[in-house]
């Protein structure tokens, strides 16, 4: 027991002596030069810090103060990384023999700025490619000073780092478009542990994306640097779990404050690609997705919300493109499927290919949410494709389509007034030929059996040649243009009410339409003067 106690006491004394000698063993000026030069060579960018100090407790470490990694001049002048204090721990066993070897690195609250230019380039893509960059290799020993040994015991030893820990880091993402407009996100509370060596690095950790409070959990991460290649070319793999209670704030940064998108987001993605060009793929679900907007046409409350109970899609991210193939959603008894592509860069461009809509209840969209004056009800079936700019959806909407609306009603007040005016004028003209249509047919919402047709939308203007409204009382064939955002119309309408046919030209806007009726063959056998006067009187009456 005495021998055991003696050995333990000797070890304790030796450890205390070694710790007490740490400030004398470490040549801090040489350490500062050595770390700065090696970091600069590895990253390909200038690395500097104001000073180096030695901390003995709780564990021996070299502290780096006010560390900065410069930015690539092509992306700006602000530092790429800023760090108030970083620690490089000293290995304990070598200290007991009087040697100094640098070990694990701990970075407290580093601030990193990731910049993406309008052409999609990231500033991290040039890490390790500067004039001073060198491929990963066994680190060199620090240079010797005159009168000193070049051995590790003299100043620092080889940097055999096996672990890098980031505590409470912040990564700011800045995207610039060609108009110098900025989009910014922040990854906060970043905690990452990186282990391994020159041939393979493993990582895991967690973080939060702001705005929005989206939680990210990284696992099974591996970075494999290629010999002689920069860090940005290192292959990447791993998993990231995504969990967010509400995407409202995150969506507002991406597409603007109105309309307001909300909903809980969950998913698991597999990481791939390289450090400079990462990819991700996996399943993501929004439940529910809400779209909220103030609608001036609506009665109180004017702020309306459209709710889709669930949206699922297989997400893939690569080269500034997010795809969801397929994307599925439900509304009431209806379903929506499409191949979604979202391209980032100059704004947010959205493409919906292979769009298929089945039995979508139009009343929930046109009546309850949009309160359109030309609203109709009924189940919508539609096939086609659409593309638009998320910042101006109606003004940029483009794509072809074919649709069919099942049995429903025309309920919008403006649509009722327009169709009623055309048909009543036509009916009055027909009455001159004893072919009257009862006026009560237009006192209530018009019921129809179907509405069918094809369309082409170009920059928010819909064009059709064969839109057919079919009901028990009449058939209406519509051809022309309609501005989805402006409400401007240039339509030719042919109304067949069973006892005659009325052709009309509709121009102006949905709020103030202009209707010109062409009686055509109905007036061939009538006195032109008498008929013209009768039509003028009728139009004056219907215009009140």
Task: Provide mean pLDDT across the span 393-403.
Answer: 94
- Cα 135 to Cα 156: distance, rounded to the nearest angstrom: 22
Of 480, 469, 417, which is closest to residue 447 (Cα–Cα)? 469
Tell me which of 102 and 254 has the higher pLDDT.
254
**Tens digits of residue pLDDT in 355-374:** 999 999 999 999 999 888 88
Chain-wide mean pLDDT for the chain?
A: 79
Task: Provide mean pLDDT across the span 241-260.
Answer: 87
Collapsing DSSP to helix, strand or coil, 473 comes out as coil
- Tell me if 270 sits within 8 A of 287, measured CB to CB: no
Q: How far apart are the first and last CA of the chain?
A: 114
Tell me which of 368 and 516 has the higher pLDDT.
368
> Does residue 37 lie in a domain region?
no
> Does residue 262 lie in a domain region?
no
Report in angstroms the alpha-carbon separations of 495 from 424, 483, 499, 500. Answer: 11, 22, 11, 8
Task: Give the global pTM.
Answer: 0.73
> Does residue 258 lie in a domain region?
no
- Cα 172 to Cα 515: distance, rounded to the nearest angstrom: 57
Tell me which of 517 and 202 has the higher pLDDT.
202
Report in angstroms the alpha-carbon separations of 502 from 436, 496, 530. Answer: 13, 6, 19
- Cα 177 to Cα 2: distance, rounded to the nearest angstrom: 76
**Tens digits of residue pLDDT in 2-46:** 665 555 555 555 555 555 545 545 556 777 777 778 788 878 888
Q: How confident is the model at residue 179 (pLDDT cuts 50, 70, 90)?
A: low
> Does residue 287 lie in a domain region?
no
pLDDT at 155: 40
Tell me which of 302 and 428 has the higher pLDDT.
302
User: Tokens 């509405």 label which residue?
Assistant: 451
> Does residue 446 lie in a domain region?
yes
Q: Does pLDDT of 544 surpass 50?
A: no
**Any idea which of 136-145, 353-362, 379-388 has the lowest mean pLDDT?**
136-145
> Does residue 475 lie in a domain region?
yes
Q: Does pLDDT of 353 surpass 90?
A: yes
Q: What are phi and psi of 229, to 5 degrees?
A: -115, 155
> Does residue 412 lie in a domain region?
yes
Q: Domain span at residue 416?
A: 408-543
Of 45, 28, 29, 35, which is closest to residue 80 (Cα–Cα)? 45
pLDDT at 328: 94
Task: Provide mean pLDDT across the span 284-304.
Answer: 92
Q: Does pLDDT of 535 surpass 60?
A: no
- Total count of domains within the chain: 1
Compute the half-sphere exposure of residue 18: CA atoms within 13 Å on the CB side of its CA.
20
Cβ-Cβ contacts under 8 Å for 189 (sequence gap 6 or more): 168, 206, 207, 208
Tell me which of 502 and 98 has the higher pLDDT.
502
pLDDT at 225: 84
Q: How confident is the model at residue 412 (pLDDT cuts 50, 70, 90)?
A: confident
Beta bridge partner(s), residue 311: 286, 329
How does DSSP classify residue 236? E
**Any idea which of 106-110, 140-144, 393-397 has the lowest mean pLDDT?**
140-144
**Any idea which of 219-228, 276-285, 359-368, 430-439 has the lowest mean pLDDT?**
430-439
> Does residue 361 lie in a domain region?
no
């Amino acid at each position: 027991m005495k021998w055991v106690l003696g050995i333990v006491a000797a070890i304790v004394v030796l450890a205390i002596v070694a710790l007490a000698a740490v400030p004398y063993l470490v040549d801090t000026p040489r350490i500062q030069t050595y770390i700065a030069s090696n970091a600069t060579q590895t990253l390909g960018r200038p690395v500097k810090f104001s000073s180096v100090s030695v901390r003995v407790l709780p564990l021996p470490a070299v502290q780096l103060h006010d560390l900065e990694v410069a930015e690539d001049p092509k992306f700006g002048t602000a530092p790429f990384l800023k760090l108030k204090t970083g620690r490089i721990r000293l290995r304990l066993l070598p200290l007991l023999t009087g040697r100094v070897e640098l070990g694990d690195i701990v970075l407290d609250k580093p601030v990193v700025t990731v910049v993406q230019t309008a052409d999609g380039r990231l500033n991290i893509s040039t890490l390790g490619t500067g004039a001073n960059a060198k491929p990963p290799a066994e680190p060199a020993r620090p240079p010797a000073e005159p009168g000193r040994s070049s051995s590790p015991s003299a100043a620092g030893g080889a940097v055999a780092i096996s672990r890098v820990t980031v505590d409470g880091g912040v990564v700011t993402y800045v995207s610039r478009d060609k108009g110098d407009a900025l989009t910014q996100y922040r990854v906060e509370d970043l905690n990452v542990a990186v282990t391994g060596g020159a041939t393979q690095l493993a990582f895991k950790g967690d973080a939060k994306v702001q705005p929005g409070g989206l939680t990210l959990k990284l696992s099974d991460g591996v970075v494999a640097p290629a010999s002689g290649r920069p860090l940005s070319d290192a292959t990447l793999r791993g998993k990231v779990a995504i969990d967010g209670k509400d995407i409202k704030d995150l969506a507002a940064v991406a597409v603007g404050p109105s309309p307001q998108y909300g909903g809980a987001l969950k998913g698991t993605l597999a990481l791939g690609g390289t450090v400079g060009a990462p990819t991700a793929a996996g399943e993501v679900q929004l439940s529910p997705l809400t779209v909220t907007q103030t609608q001036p046409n609506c009665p109180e409350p004017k702020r309306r919300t459209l709710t889709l109970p669930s949206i699922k899609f297989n997400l893939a991210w690569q080269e500034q493109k997010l795809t969801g193939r397929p994307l599925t959603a439900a509304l009431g008894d209806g379903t929506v499927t499409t191949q979604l592509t979202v391209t980032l860069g100059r704004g947010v461009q959205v493409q919906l290919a292979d769009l298929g809509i089945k039995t979508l209840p139009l009343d929930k969209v046109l009546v309850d949410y949009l309160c359109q004056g030309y609203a109709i009800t009924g189940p919508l079936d539609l096939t086609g494709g659409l593309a638009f700019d998320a910042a101006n959806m109606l003004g940029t909407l483009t794509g072809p389509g074919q649709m069919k609306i099942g049995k429903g009603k025309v309920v919008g007040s403006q649509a009722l007034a327009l169709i009623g005016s055309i048909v009543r004028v036509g009916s009055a003209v027909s009455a001159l030929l004893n072919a009257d249509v009862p006026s009560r047919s237009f006192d209530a919402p018009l019921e129809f059996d179907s509405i069918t047709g094809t369309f082409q939308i170009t920059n928010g203007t819909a064009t059709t040649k064969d839109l057919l409204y079919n009901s028990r009382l009449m058939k209406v064939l519509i051809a022309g243009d309609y501005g989805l955002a402006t409400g401007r119309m240039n339509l030719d309408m042919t109304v067949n009410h069973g006892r005659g046919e009325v052709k009309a030209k509709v121009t102006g806007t949905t709020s103030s339409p202009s209707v010109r009726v062409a009686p055509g063959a109905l007036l061939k056998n009538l006195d032109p003067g008498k008929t013209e006067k009768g039509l003028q009187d009728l139009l004056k009456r219907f215009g009140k």
